[in-house]
Amino acid sequence: GAVMQALFRNPLAEPGLVGVSVGGAVGAVGAIVLGYDQQPLVLAGAAFVGSLLATLAAWLLGRRAPGAAGILLAGIAINAFGGALIGVFTYLANDMQLRSLTFWNLGSLATADWAMLSWLAPWTLALMGALLWQWRALNALLLGEREALHLGFELQRLRARLILLVTLLVGPLVAVTGIIGFVGLVVPHLVRLVAGADHRPLLPLSLLAGALILVLADWVARIVVIPAELPIGIVTSLLGAPVLFMLIQREAR
């Protein structure tokens, strides 16, 4: 979320803006409807491929437009198209598949285990390190694209590199957990209140704060309606929406 907000210079930007989330959802929903809902590896693989394809489509469609606006508009179109495909798959699903579709689209950590963490944690930390290496470029983007260009950054390659790194980071996470809203949007704003806008501390602190908030939301999801478990996306939305509203009110003052 912090990277996307710097890239697009938009406080409402988050990874789903370029199709990462909806692409993963289309891949996972398609796999569920085709009968692979009991095969987590197939489901995660389909979601990851969907994320990559959706982001690639947004990049190819929007890269010729000046600035980052073209990619942003292409991402909106990809999200709309992906939403339509999800609607088609949902219509075709049977009753058992509908429950899986609903739970996946709202996010869950129920499938998390140590075997999954053994590869997902190193992957996440490695890509986080690659993004942290771009902190100077991200700080330059805060000044504006023209200023970043004058500082020696080649914007087309920089955009491609940042979007690729974000997709490779977020895609596997979406593939494993489903779509969990508001974390990537709200957490960077909360961290900026403490650490400021410099991306050198902002990126690692956003990763840590996002993980802590997600664990808290998962704990709430597990105890609210015992013995059932709420989808974690419902909890993050219930917690995130008021926080975002308070941040907007704070900026208005």
Q: Which residues contact 142 (CB under 8 A, 6 or more apart)?
A: 6, 9, 197
Q: How far is CA 28 from CA 11, 18, 34, 103, 230, in A?
A: 29, 18, 10, 11, 19
Burial 158-188 (b: 16+ CB within 10 A, else e): bbeebbbbbbbbbbbbbbbbbbbbbbbbbbb
Question: How many domains does one find in the chain?
Answer: 1
Tell me, what's the pLDDT at 88? 86
Tell me, what's the pLDDT at 252? 60
* CA 173 to chain centroid: 8
Q: What CATH number does residue 212 fall under?
A: 1.10.3470.10
Average pLDDT of adjacent 10-residue blocks, the chain of 253 residues:
77 74 83 76 80 82 70 82 86 79 75 77 86 82 75 76 82 78 81 82 87 86 77 80 75 61
The answer to whether 25 touches 47, Cβ cutoff 8 Å, is yes
The answer to whether 21 touches 81, Cβ cutoff 8 Å, is no
Domain range for residue 115?
2-252
Q: Which residues contact 22 (CB under 8 A, 6 or more apart)?
A: 16, 54, 78, 79, 82, 83, 86
Tell me, what's the pLDDT at 66? 64
